[in-house]
Amino acid sequence: MAAVEELLREYRATGAESVKHQVMISCLPLVKYLAGRLMVRMPSVIEQEDLESYGLFGLLEAVEKYNPDLGVSFKTYAHNRIRGSMIDEVRKMSWIPRSVLQKVQKLSAAKEELQRIHGGDVNDEMLAQALGLEMPDYYKLILNTGQMYLASLDESAMTHEGEQLSLVDFISDPDSPDPLTVIEDKESREILAQCISELPEKDQLILSLYYHEKLTLKEISKILTVSESRVCQLHTRAIGRLRKSMNVEADIKKPTSRKSKKDGVSTVTKITGDSQTDTSKIEKGVVLGC
């Protein structure tokens, strides 16, 4: 370190960047040492390389501000600057208030002391009493402690089958459809398509014009050259036949559905694309306005 002291005096006298660079290189082992010492207290998301990079800023500041005339060795001065820089940067990354951090440190110290006294057999009641906390406050502190440690979603985890997946693969997507619902819908659509194909041609035409072509009663009546009331009657008849056919088909195929047979009606409504349409209302002529 004596050589470093001489280089620092030269840098203070000349301000040469090459001399500062030599000092930085000479002090890198100190940065690595301090980073390694602090790592034992850091959460898993902090890498030692991160601490070393933070420490370099402290080392640079120490080199530029060190005054040998004050009688303090550069090693001591740089040690405090480097360590302080690492701790400051880690604190900036944490959203936990310093008061909570202090309580967590007291919890850790109390646990170590009790383990030393009782040989490792320490329970929550003992810790709460040592900290002078009521149990609700103690459990709140434990909750805050758990929130201090983060895990990257890119980290890997092993499944029971031995497959290695990232943690993000274990997070459920609330917008993802239920696989059983997808199977049920597919099965219902297949039954619906088959039942529609078995309807008389005129019934198929009525359903197609109303639900797929989105035509009004008046427009359908002009195409079929019948009155609007007759179109309403034809539609009601087609829906009735389709519902009956679907219930029969469902009993034959016995689909793996959680729904009752009455859901054959709702399936007709959903597949046709009119979520507000209910066949019971159709039969009464409410939806079609007849």
Q: Which of 93, 115, 141 is the last residue of a domain?
A: 93
For residue 46, the domain's CATH number is: 1.10.1740.10
Are residues 203 and 184 part of one domain?
Answer: yes
User: Which residue type is seen at 138?
Assistant: Y
Domain that holds residue 67: 2-93
Tell me the average pLDDT across 114-138. 86
pLDDT band at residue 56 using 50, 70 and 90 as cut-offs:
very high
Distance CA 80, CA 77 (A): 6
Q: Which of 93, 109, 131 is the last residue of a domain?
A: 93
Task: Write out pLDDT tens, residues 223-233.
Answer: 999 999 999 99
Are residues 268 and 185 part of one domain?
Answer: yes
pLDDT of residue 133: 87
Tell me the average pLDDT across 258-275. 46
Q: Does the pLDDT of residue 62 top 70, yes or no?
A: yes
Are residues 110 and 85 part of one domain?
Answer: no
